[in-house]
Every structure is written in C-alpha cells, then in structure tokens.
Amino acid sequence: MITLNINGKNIRADVEPDTPLLWVLRDTLQLSGTKYGCGMALCGACTVHLNGEPVRSCSTPVSAAVGKKIVTIEGVGRDRVAKAVQDAWQRLDVVQCGYCQSGQIMSAVALLEKNRKPTDADIDGAMGGNLCRCATYVRIRAAIHEAAKSLA
C-alpha cells in the first residue's frame, strides 16, 4: 500500500512501486483529467506537478511520487496562477479537440509560477515538450502572455 498526496489529500493506493503514476491517477484513483498520449514522455498530455515541477506521469514510477505533493488538472485550479491561465485559455478560445489541454495548462502554470513575465523564447522552452495535434501553439502562447498580464 502506497500513500500519495494528491491535490492536497493523502490517498492510499494498493499498487506496485514501479507502476507509472499516470495509471495510478487514471485507473486506480479515477482522476481522468490527466491524459495518456504516447506513453514515452514525448507529448506532454500526461503532465502533472510533482512538488511544483511539471513531470510526465506516464514515465514517472509511483514510488518517485511518495512523500511529494502531486497536483493534477483536477486540483490545479485552486491557485491564482492556475485560475489566470484557465481564464486566458477560455477568453482566447485556445482549445480545439482539447486532448492535450490538461498537459498544456499544467506546463503553463508551472512556467508562470516561476516567471511572471515570460518572453516568447521562455514560453517555447517551457512548452516545447507539449504537443498539440490541432496546432494551437499561437493561441497557447497568446494565452500564456494574457495570463501573465492578468497576474502583473
């Protein structure tokens, strides 16, 4: 039995230590907002925060998350930065199919938590591992700038 701190709550899960965190979140705990994309940490759809850092949950063993704070898309909206990002996403109509968006938002929030005035290069660097099959990259970048302005 493993105890995890997910979205501020301690939750016990009966899983093997090498189980990918993504499967624990989605299958064991029914937190389906974090998406499975590639399974190889290449697309970013499975991004969650581990002690405030964006990580790919498909390649992170659950044992690496024990004793750390895990925040998923279901729990991220509680803070000011996340709210600003989500509001900007809606105002600028970023989403098309929406599949990648939880990972995109998680990466954007992590960026703005550290850098409230990101340049285009900063955004490209932070978001580079998040793929969007609908190619809404221009709107994603604009929404991050918009969120940053609202936080100033």
pLDDT digits (tens, 9 = 90+) for 113-146: 999 999 999 999 999 999 999 999 999 999 999 9
Name the residue ranges covered by the structural domains of the chain: 2-75, 77-151
Q: Considering only the top CATH level, what class is 77-151?
A: mainly alpha
pLDDT tens figures, 70-120: 999 999 988 899 999 999 999 999 999 999 999 999 999 999 999 999 999
pLDDT at 77: 82
Structural fold of domain 2-75: Ubiquitin-like (UB roll) (3.10.20)
pTM for the full predicted model:
0.95
pLDDT digits (tens, 9 = 90+) for 39-59: 999 999 999 999 999 999 999
What does the buried/exposed string (b/e) look like for 70-79 if buried means 16 or more CB atoms within 10 Å of the residue's CB?
bbbbbbbeee
